[in-house]
Amino acid sequence: MKQVVLDTAKEMYRKGLVEGTSGNVSARMPDGNVCVTPSSVPYETMVLDDLVVVDLDANVLDGHRMPTSEKDLHLACYRAFDEVGGVIHSHPVHGSMFACARQPIPAAIEEFVVFVGGDVPVCDYTLTGTADLGKEAVRNLEQSSAALLASHGMITIGPTPTEALHVALVVERTAQIVHGARLLGGEHPLPEKTNKNFRGVYEYLRKNPMS
């Protein structure tokens, strides 16, 4: 699982969802503890030995570095949702534009509802690195696999870090598309029946992950 966290973190960086040492990745391990990326280590040079293992109370169990300063954000998701096996906090350009504008990202693309659950909500502004941010994220992730952190970035969840990254990429691409569509006059909402059917698929897959 550590290798998955490392590979996902490097892919998140390669895809442009973060810059520098911002953002963080984690995974629930088979024993219930959590592997997280460290604080302030560049993704280009990050190696397995840099990763940190913590328990659900944020106690460090393994690793010589400090865990990400957003550990409480990640751990809140694992405590709240048994089905979650991976959490990604990223700072994508277009998604963060919506977060700064405090506007939800609409489910304007068909596949969006299947992978994300519907419109991506915006969390109330809460200071980064605090337990309160984790509580606010969980509140918004109950019906969605992604949430925007006001004036900050985005958090996505999935059965694995790889799938949480896929959600982040789907959301970021859709945010870019919606931004462009609004320059052309605005996006058209999908039919209610389509959203309802795809929502059913999302709910089934969230509770019955195929991974």
Active-site positions read: 70
Alpha helices, H only, the chain: 2-14, 71-80, 93-101, 110-116, 131-141, 161-183, 192-207
What are the beta bridge partners of residue 155?
A: 89, 147
Q: Which residues of 184-211 are buried (b: 16+ CB within 10 A; e: fewer)?
A: eeebeebeeeebeebbeebeebbeeeee
Long-range residue pairs from 182-189, CB within 8 A, at least 24 positions apart, any chain: 187/106, 187/108, 188/108, 189/106, 189/108
* Alpha carbons 30 and 91: distance in angstroms, whole number: 28
